[in-house]
């Protein structure tokens, strides 16, 4: 059966109209966050594609501020959970509490019952707590005692981890890191941005409050539109080629990468690469995906899904370098 391509022009016009709030959101975020355009754009991709984001960077790069500002700009409930080694699953999802007056147990909801969750320093908490959070991320529901609760939409987890300190941390297992749509590595601001940051923090009276510019309903509507963004079969093939090159590099004239890759991307990598590309096209106000969209989001989708061997570490090869080699070798449609 032949697939009929949708009316791209009509779809483009709808996306032009319905993506106007992206500019509003970015303007509100820029009130409190200087620079870091890359990070805020990745947050919006996660928001529009319904995927969770893992941010990695040294302390003080506005990771916490970014998600707090985003939840202020969207009329939504925000929770911050500071992960520590003594945290318990009940501290995240909630627990049953005995009510003496009623002589029964009542459910007390934990901070996970919100639209935006900031899981600060996720690698500080033990495996039990991490898995409680990750169940909520994957299933969009929480079980407390015998009761199962569906979480509100939109539900976005933004987790941060500090790459420097490894003492007292519990690194996320590969299968759990795979639940994050994007892993974004954040760098330092440039000199001009740093000057603005100093000025903004020395004179707090100049800081503008962040206004609500978007409703939860707008976000959910935008998510439906993102799924409608047109993706040609050639782009689908391109995505599949990139993911398959991480599994069988020798088929793409990349035999030299074979001993460096411990494992390649799972089907989740292909799904997330397609979704993130559609969200990126939406942010760029387009109704169709082009190869540049795939390339723009590829590192963030793939860097935590390509495992490297000891041999790669000995040669100072990172997963980012491997993904770059693949992007340079795979034929662009």
Residue 27 covered by a domain: no
174 and 64 share a domain?
Answer: yes
Inter-residue contact 130 to 170 (CB < 8 Å):
yes
Using CA atoms, how far apart are residues 74 and 96, in angstroms rounded to an integer?
A: 31
Domain termination site, one of 197, 221, 252: 197
pLDDT-wise least confident of 35-39, 59-63, 168-172: 168-172
Question: Is there a domain that residue 173 lies in?
Answer: yes
pLDDT in tens, 48-59: 998 899 988 877
Contact call for residues 159 and 54 (beta carbons, < 8 A): yes
Q: Which domain holds residue 123?
A: 35-197
Q: Which residue has the tokens 């029964």?
A: 104
How many structural domains is the chain composed of?
A: 2
Residues 183 and 287 in one domain: no
Q: What is the average pLDDT value for the chain, to the nearest integer? A: 84
Residue 155 in any domain: the answer is yes
- Considering the domain architecture, whether residues 162 and 272 belong to the same structural domain is answered as no
281 and 172 belong to one structural domain: no
CATH of the domain at 275: 1.10.8.80
Question: Does residue 28 lie in a domain region?
Answer: no
Section 256-265 average pLDDT: 88
For 81-106, give one letter per residue: b (16+ CB within 10 A) or e. bebeeebebebbbbbeeeeeeeeeee
Q: What is the pLDDT of residues 12-53, one digit of tens each?
A: 888 887 778 888 888 888 777 777 788 888 989 999 998 899
If asked whether residues 57 and 109 sit together in one domain, one would say yes
Domain end: 143, 173, 197, which one? 197
> Is 22 contained in some domain?
no
284 with 324, same domain: the answer is yes
Asked if residues 72 and 210 have their Cβ atoms less than 8 Å apart, the reply is: yes
Examine the domain organization and report whether 193 and 251 are in the same domain.
no
One domain, residues 146 and 281: no
CATH of the domain at 190: 3.40.50.300
Range scoring the smallest mean pLDDT among 134-138, 236-240, 313-317: 134-138
Q: CB neighbours of 149 closer than 8 A, spacing ≥ 6?
A: 107, 109, 113, 141, 142, 143
Percent of the chain with pLDDT over 70: 95
- Residue 284 and residue 152 share a domain: no
Same domain for 189 and 247, yes or no, is no
């Amino acid at each position: 059966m032949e697939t009929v391509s949708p009316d791209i022009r009509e779809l483009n016009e709808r996306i032009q109209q319905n993506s106007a709030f992206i500019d509003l959101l970015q303007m509100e975020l820029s009130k409190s966050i200087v620079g870091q355009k890359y990070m805020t754009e990745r947050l919006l991709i996660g928001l529009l594609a319904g995927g969770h984001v893992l941010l990695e960077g040294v302390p003080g790069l506005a990771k916490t501020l970014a998600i707090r500002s985003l939840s202020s700009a969207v009329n939504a409930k925000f929770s911050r959970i500071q992960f520590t080694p003594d945290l318990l699953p009940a501290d995240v999802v909630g627990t049953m509490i005995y009510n003496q007056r009623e002589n029964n147990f009542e459910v007390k909801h934990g901070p996970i019952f919100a639209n935006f969750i900031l899981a600060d320093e996720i690698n500080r908490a033990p495996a039990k707590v991490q898995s409680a959070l990750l169940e909520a991320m994957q299933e969009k529901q929480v079980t407390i005692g015998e009761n199962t609760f569906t979480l509100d939409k939109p539900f976005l987890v933004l987790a941060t981890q500090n790459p420097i300190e490894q003492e007292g941390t519990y690194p996320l297992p590969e299968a759990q890191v795979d639940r994050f749509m994007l892993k974004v590595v954040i760098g330092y601001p440039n000199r001009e941005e740093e000057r603005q940051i100093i000025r903004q923090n020395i004179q707090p009276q100049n800081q503008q409050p962040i206004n609500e510019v978007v409703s939860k309903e707008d976000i959910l509507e935008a998510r439906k539109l993102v799924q409608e963004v047109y993706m040609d079969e050639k782009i689908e093939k391109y995505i599949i080629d990139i993911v398959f090159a991480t599994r069988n590099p020798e088929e793409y004239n990349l035999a030299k990468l074979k001993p460096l890759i411990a494992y390649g991307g799972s089907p989740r990598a292909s799904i997330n690469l397609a979704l993130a590309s559609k969200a990126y096209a939406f942010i760029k106000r387009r109704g169709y995906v082009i190869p540049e969209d795939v390339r723009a989001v590829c590192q963030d989708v793939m860097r935590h899904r390509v495992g490297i061997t000891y041999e790669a570490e000995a040669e100072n090869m990172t997963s980012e370098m491997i993904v770059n080699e693949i992007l340079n070798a795979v034929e662009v449609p």
